[in-house]
């Protein structure tokens, strides 16, 4: 549904997006995760044809974003960052305006408006002006606007930013429901956000993709006691080699040395078995184990880790 | 063109969504009527010429006041991102904004009909210059609107848009004035006098519709609308 190839964009000397490539299949919900300034919004703006890329291209439903922008725009529903709205219009007037410019035939406008007002839970606000709505309802209106022409692709830039926890849960629920039929790209700098709504996560930092996977894969690498800290007295290289040889260990990292004590962190998919194996490996080597504990890592750590590594 | 129509109505209605529009209309009518009637009875002539003489100077300030919001507000609110990611062509948006601002100006102009009625009632003026004056006012107003739209498109600050539009409008207004023409080498004279906004207005105002004047105004409008579209698209 979406194919992105070597997309790049510079703002003056700042490289906002550098050589990004990825694919999104029909019906997938993809999350862009990254700190502020990672290039999430810039990528989305290029996909929606708001800005043009400096290099590379993308195809949405087979249409090239630079060659056929009008066809691309027809197939996308877009909620820009900060959800801009015309505050002086009525809720229904605004939806009518968008529907007209979306080319929805006059006879279907009422039905479409009723539909999006319904699924976005806006019925009680229909008679109000946009400026009178609370932030949560404005966000719903932004979503309703993006959905009105029943697009194949939805691009949502930080759909839950600035909402209270109750509203966040409602909007997430809404996105999940919509996501059953549509291809969605959404962005966030909050991890639980993407973990809760997305099939797949792309982690962006400084304009590049630094990691990707399903939320389960990312948390499998890390969460719920899957990381083990071991402090061992012994020669560093031999201990490290022995630890790396242990079955089911994904990664061994040397964290530091303190008076002959080597501190290691191991990432593993089977923490229980690995703890035992570390004990036997250390015993077999004739070294001593002064500390062995599980560290609970969550997605936050993966995220920080991936983005920090890039920075250093 | 359908999109231009949709944008036209949305913009036109938005002028009336705040009291500013009504205040604007009232202010315009009070000022024009006051300036007109101040000298009308003294001059004792049933003619609208003094009114049309005032118009270029009034439009210099009025047109930017109408257009300053058009793009600057969209940029400030960020709604331009919604607008430009809808399946519409940039020129359709530019035209929609132009025609709605122009329609608002034309509405103001139409509300000056009591002046025409007064003059008709008190005397027997030649209708040619009156119709010519209104036609010229529409062309001149359209040009000022196009300049104002361009100015609004280069900034997100309404006040800056207002001032830039006045500066551009003022420049085009005075280059055709005699005071400026005398100070220039004589070979430049015809060029500058052709470029001036006012001279064409006066010649149409005499009731003489000359194709050169029409071509001038239409090319000015086209030029600034094209510049407007280019700055909006160039922001990418």
- Chain A residues with CB inside 8 Å of B3's CB? 100-101
Q: For residue A220, give every residue at least 6 positions away whose Cβ sits within 8 Å of its Cβ, in sequence order, or none.
A: A226, A269
Are B88 and A49 a contacting pair at CB < 8 A?
Answer: no
User: Quick check: B21 contacting A, CB < 8 Å?
Assistant: no
Closest partner residue to A88 (CB to CB) among B3, B17, B80 is B17
Average pLDDT over residues B171-193: 80
User: Quick check: B82 contacting A, CB < 8 Å?
Assistant: yes
Beta pairing partners, A264:
A230, A254
The whole-number pLDDT of residue A299 equals: 58
pTM of the model: 0.82
User: How many residues does the structure list for chain A?
Assistant: 312
The whole-number pLDDT of residue A71 equals: 92
Average pLDDT over residues B117-136: 86
The whole-number pLDDT of residue A302 equals: 65
pLDDT 10s digits, A180-220? 888 999 998 777 778 788 888 888 888 888 778 787 777 66
The correct CATH number of A226-296 out of 2.60.120.650, 3.40.50.720, 3.30.70.250, 3.50.50.60 is 3.30.70.250
312 residues of chain A, pLDDT tens digit each = 899 999 999 888 888 899 999 999 988 999 998 888 888 999 999 999 999 999 999 999 999 999 999 999 999 999 998 899 999 899 999 999 999 999 999 889 999 999 999 888 888 988 999 999 998 899 999 999 999 999 999 999 988 877 788 888 888 888 888 888 889 999 987 777 787 888 888 888 888 887 787 877 776 655 444 678 889 998 888 888 888 888 777 778 888 888 888 888 887 767 778 888 888 988 988 898 888 887 755 556 666 666 665 554
Q: How confident is the model at residue B60 (pLDDT cuts 50, 70, 90)?
A: very high
Nearest C-alpha of chain A: how many angstroms from B204? 38
Vertex B71: Cα angle to A91 and B54 (nearest 5): 115
- Chain B residues with CB inside 8 Å of A86's CB? 14, 77, 79
- Chain A residues with CB inside 8 Å of B89's CB? 70
Nearest C-alpha of chain B: how many angstroms from A167? 23
Vertex A196: Cα angle to A191 and A198 (nearest 5): 90
User: Quick check: B39 contacting A, CB < 8 Å?
Assistant: no
**CATH 3.30.70.250 in chain A, residue ranges:** 226-296
Structure tokens at B144: 């000022």
Q: How confident is the model at residue B181 (pLDDT cuts 50, 70, 90)?
A: confident
For residue B187, give its domain range: 2-235
ipTM, two decimals: 0.88
The whole-number pLDDT of residue B87 equals: 93
Name the domain count of chain B.
Answer: 1
Q: Could you tell me if B8 and B93 are in contact, meaning their C-beta atoms sit under 8 angstroms apart? A: no
- Chain A residues with CB inside 8 Å of B12's CB? none
Are A76 and B3 a contacting pair at CB < 8 A?
Answer: no
Closest alpha carbon within chain A to B80: A84
The whole-number pLDDT of residue A204 equals: 86
Q: What is the mean pLDDT of chain B?
A: 88
Are B86 and A51 a contacting pair at CB < 8 A?
Answer: no
Strands A55-60, A76-79: pairing is unpaired
CATH code at A2-213: 3.40.50.300
DSSP conformational letter for A211 = E
Q: What is the DSSP string of B131-193?
A: HHHHHHHHHHHHHHHHHHHHHHHT-S-HHHHHHHHHHHHHHHHHTTSHHHHHTS-TTTHHHHH
User: Quick check: B3 contacting A, CB < 8 Å?
Assistant: yes
Closest partner residue to B86 (CB to CB) among A85, A86, A102 is A102
User: Quick check: B38 contacting A, CB < 8 Å?
Assistant: no
Name which of B14, B75, B82 to mutate to probe chain A: the one with the most chain A Cβ atoms within 10 A of its Cβ. B82
Closest alpha carbon within chain A to B84: A50
Name which of A16, A50, A154 to mutate to probe chain B: the one with the most chain B Cβ atoms within 10 A of its Cβ. A50
């Amino acid at each position: 549904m979406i194919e992105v190839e070597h997309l790049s964009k510079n703002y003056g000397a700042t490289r906002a997006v550098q050589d990004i490539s990825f694919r999104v299949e029909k019906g997938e919900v993809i999350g862009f995760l990254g700190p502020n300034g990672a290039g999430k919004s810039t990528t989305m703006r290029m996909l929606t044809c708001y800005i043009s890329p400096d290099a590379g291209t993308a195809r949405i439903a087979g249409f090239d974003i630079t060659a056929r922008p009008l066809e691309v725009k027809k197939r996308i529903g877009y909620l820009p960052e900060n959800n801009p709205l015309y505050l002086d219009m009525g809720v229904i007037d605004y939806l009518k305006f968008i529907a007209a410019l979306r080319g929805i035939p006059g006879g279907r406008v009422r039905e479409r408006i009723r539909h999006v007002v319904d699924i976005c839970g806006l019925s009680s606000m229909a008679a109000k002006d946009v400026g009178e709505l609370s932030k949560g309802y404005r966000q719903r209106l932004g979503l309703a606007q993006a959905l009105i022409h029943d697009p194949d692709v939805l691009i949502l830039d930080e759909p839950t930013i600035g909402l209270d926890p109750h509203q966040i849960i409602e909007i997430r629920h809404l996105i999940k429901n919509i996501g059953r039929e549509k291809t969605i790209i959404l962005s966030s700098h909050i991890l639980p956000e993407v973990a809760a709504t997305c099939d797949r996560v792309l982690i962006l930092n400084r304009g590049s993709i630094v990691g990707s996977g399903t939320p389960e894969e990312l948390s499998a690498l890390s969460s719920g006691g899957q990381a083990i800290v071991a402090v061992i007295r012994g020669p560093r290289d031999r201990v490290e080699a022995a630890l790396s040889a242990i079955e089911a260990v994904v990664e061994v990292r040397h964290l530091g040395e303190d008076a002959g004590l080597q501190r290691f962190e191991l990432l593993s998919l089977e923490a229980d078995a690995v703890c035992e194996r570390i004990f036997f490996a250390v015993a077999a080597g004739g070294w001593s184990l002064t500390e062995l504990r599980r560290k609970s890592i969550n997605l936050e750590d993966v995220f920080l880790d991936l983005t920090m590594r890039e920075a250093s | 063109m359908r999109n231009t129509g949709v944008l036209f109505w949305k913009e036109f209605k938005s002028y009336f969504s705040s009291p500013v529009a009504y205040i604007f209309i009232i202010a315009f009518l009070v000022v024009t009527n006051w300036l007109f009637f101040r000298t009308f009875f003294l001059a004792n002539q049933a003619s609208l010429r003094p009114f049309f003489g005032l118009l270029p100077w009034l439009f210099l300030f009025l047109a930017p006041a109408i257009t300053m919001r058009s793009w600057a507000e969209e940029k400030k609110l960020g709604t331009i991102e919604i607008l430009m990611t809808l399946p519409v062509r940039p020129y359709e948006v530019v035209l929609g904004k132009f025609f709605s601002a122009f329609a608002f100006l034309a509405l103001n102009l139409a509300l000056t009909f009591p002046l025409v009625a007064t003059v008709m009632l008190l005397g027997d003026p030649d209708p040619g210059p009156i119709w010519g004056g209104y036609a010229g006012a529409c062309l001149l107003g359209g040009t000022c609107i196009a300049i104002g739209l361009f100015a609004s498109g280069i900034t997100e600050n309404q006040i800056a848009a207002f001032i830039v539009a006045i500066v551009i409008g003022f420049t085009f207004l005075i280059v055709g004035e005699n005071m400026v023409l005398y100070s220039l080498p004589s070979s430049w004279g015809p060029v500058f006098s052709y470029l001036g906004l006012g001279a064409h207005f006066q010649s149409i105002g005499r009731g003489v519709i000359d194709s050169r004047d029409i071509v001038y105004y239409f090319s000015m409008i086209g030029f600034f609308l094209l510049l407007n579209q280019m700055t909006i698209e160039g922001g990418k």
